[in-house]
Chain A
Amino acid sequence: MSMYENIIIILYLAVLGYLGFRGYKQTKNSTDYLIAGRDTHPFIMALSYGATFISTAAIVGFGGVAAWLGNSLLWLTVFNIFIGIFVAFVFLGNPTRKMGYRLNAHTFPELLAKRFDSKFIQIFGALIILIFMPLYATAVLIGGTQFIALYFDTDYHMSLMVFSIIITAYVIAGGLKGVMLTDALQGVIMFVAMIILVVVTFDSLGGIDAAFSKLEHVWQTTVVSALEQTNITELTPGSPDFMMKLSLLWGFEGWNSMPQFLSKGWLFVITTITMGVGIGVLAQPQLIVRFMTVKSKQELNRAVLIGSIFILAMTGIIFIVGALSNAWYFEFNEGKNALQSAGSIEKVIPHFINNAMPKWFAFVFLFALISAAMSTLSSQFHTMGTAVGRDFFEQITKKDYNSVTVTRLGVVLMIIFSVSLAYAFDKQPAIIARSTAIFFALCASIFLPSFIGGLFFKGMTKAAAISSMLVGLVVSSFWLLFVHFTEAKALGLSKAIFGTDSLLSGDIIFVDALVIALPISTITAIAVSFMTKKMDKKHLDKCFND
């Protein structure tokens, strides 16, 4: 490593330390520790929301998928911006903020519990977070650590330890204030890196029009002509040509085209990638809590502007660059496409950075990836800590504890648990590799009807909220365990019990769990609301009126 690199690393750590310390100094009570004192700056809030949402997996993993499946993934960016930012901030943000304020809620499970006057909901919500979020955090932790170990040529376990200690320090000390301040810094680094990435990519391919125009020729040459006559059974499963042949069989027709309507590829891109992640984001506890960190709607209005530009610069750019990497490799690597050059989907983006970008940029991009991992992880650890302390322990013991201390203990506990998982599995086992998709599908199916119903429909009852959550859990778990082609195969329970990867057959196994479970849990919420006794008017007044 050069002297400049060492200086930049030390500077980065020093700034992180300073921001964590600033969070610590500003934390005076549980409101500060749990929801950043409800007075966060819109810039910090928007960047923290975006940086928490975008993890290393979103950049490296989905960028690689874009190299495989092309620009059809831009539908996810549309959903990310329109639903994940515009709808979330304009329609959900302020009602969430106001209700959280009126009910003095400090966490997402607590908000739902107080709205529906049910301790069960708070404990149930905490358990969902505590069971499934550690797997999601472990996936992010393993991804971030692997990059550090690779770039600095250090031992994986040593890198994991140092990486975790740094995050632990500022999450425990600074609470959500520390987390959001560091998120904002990390968001800025990610933003700068992505802008450089897209500019250099277009420049090396001769401009925007020339770059996109090349993709059709590369597709025809390296995929259609090369693989059309080949039987997939002749190819090694998982190999680059196998994956490209698979995309042909799934109905893909080029990196600039949508797959055939209702083909396997279309169902995968639209239901699993676009809707699974694009809608799933609305019910993420670690993101919803951010709406409660600002003091007025004005901050949310401003955050719409900042957040939309940030997300466009993240997923919009990485999907375009991922797809265009095929044109770059074809031109500069002996007529090969991206997967043939890098070897596999997850290797495309790191390989592209190392080969297509200037040397200094590899270091900048490493920082962006570490920042993406850290910002997601710190928020996950904080959310899990609040779930242990505030939502579970305090509710079970029914005593008034100092929430800050209990949450700090919860954060430590969950970091130890997640790091232990990451320590044991440096090669991601299937369950961890699929944990992001699992967490998004579960959260949306379980929480979304109660969250939206709770904010907007006074007629939604406690029984309706509980039944919709339970139905969401059962249906989404069933679909993930026994039907959906990726999770059911990866989890292996269906195979172990029934001897088959999926209980159903045909294209339906490509439909995401969220698309099946969310409508059912929503119908349950509506039906049970009509069948059960309305909630007390006095309680509803407290929830809905200042």
Chain B
Amino acid sequence: MGYFDFGVGLAFILMIISTIASVVYGAMNWNKDAYVKPPKFVKEWKKTEKKIEDEL
């Protein structure tokens, strides 16, 4: 790292830190916030859309 000046060295470190932070965030939340059953209105909307598609 001695070959970089402060500005480029900082960019290099932040690049690595940003990647590590993203990897850690992704790994820690890998199984969180899973899909839950859609609200009722979505089912109704899907039915309506299918009807329109069929008519067309």
Contacts and interface: CB of A to CB of B under 8 A. Distances in A.
A402 B56 contact: yes
A302 interface: yes
Interface stretch (A78-86, A149-157, A240-248): A78-86
B30 A296 contact: no
Contacts of B30: 298, 301-302, 305
Given A29-B53, A257-B8, A78 B14 contact: yes
A503 interface: no
Contacts of B27: 305
A71 B12 contact: yes
Contacts of A361: none
* A contacts with B: majority SS: helix
A302 B29 CA distance: 7
Nearest to A82: B18
A126 B31 CA distance: 37
Contact of B18 (A31, A78, A212): A78
A302 B32 CA distance: 9
Interface string B23-35: 1011101111111
A401 B52 CA distance: 10
B53 A402 contact: yes
Interface in B1-56: 3-8, 11-12, 14-15, 18-19, 21-23, 25-27, 29-36, 39, 42, 45, 49-50, 52-53, 56
Contact of A258 (B5, B14, B31, B52): B5
A400 interface: yes
A30 interface: yes
B15 A72 contact: no
A104 B34 CA distance: 20
A81 B18 CA distance: 6
Given A296-B35, A298-B34, A72 B22 contact: no
Given A296-B36, A301-B29, A74 B49 contact: no
Nearest to A303: B26
A493 interface: no
Interface of A: 29-31, 70-72, 74-75, 77-78, 81-82, 85-86, 90, 94, 101, 104, 209, 212-213, 215-216, 253-254, 256-258, 295-298, 300-309, 312, 316, 400-402, 546
Given A86-B22, A215-B3, A308-B23, 15 more contacts: A30-B53, A71-B11, A71-B12, A78-B11, A213-B3, A256-B8, A296-B34, A298-B35, A301-B26, A301-B32, A302-B30, A304-B26, A308-B18, A308-B19, A308-B26
26 contacts: A29-B50, A29-B53, A31-B49, A71-B12, A77-B11, A86-B21, A101-B42, A213-B3, A215-B3, A256-B8, A257-B8, A296-B35, A297-B32, A297-B33, A298-B31, A300-B33, A301-B29, A301-B30, A301-B32, A305-B25, A305-B26, A308-B22, A308-B26, A309-B23, A312-B15, A316-B15
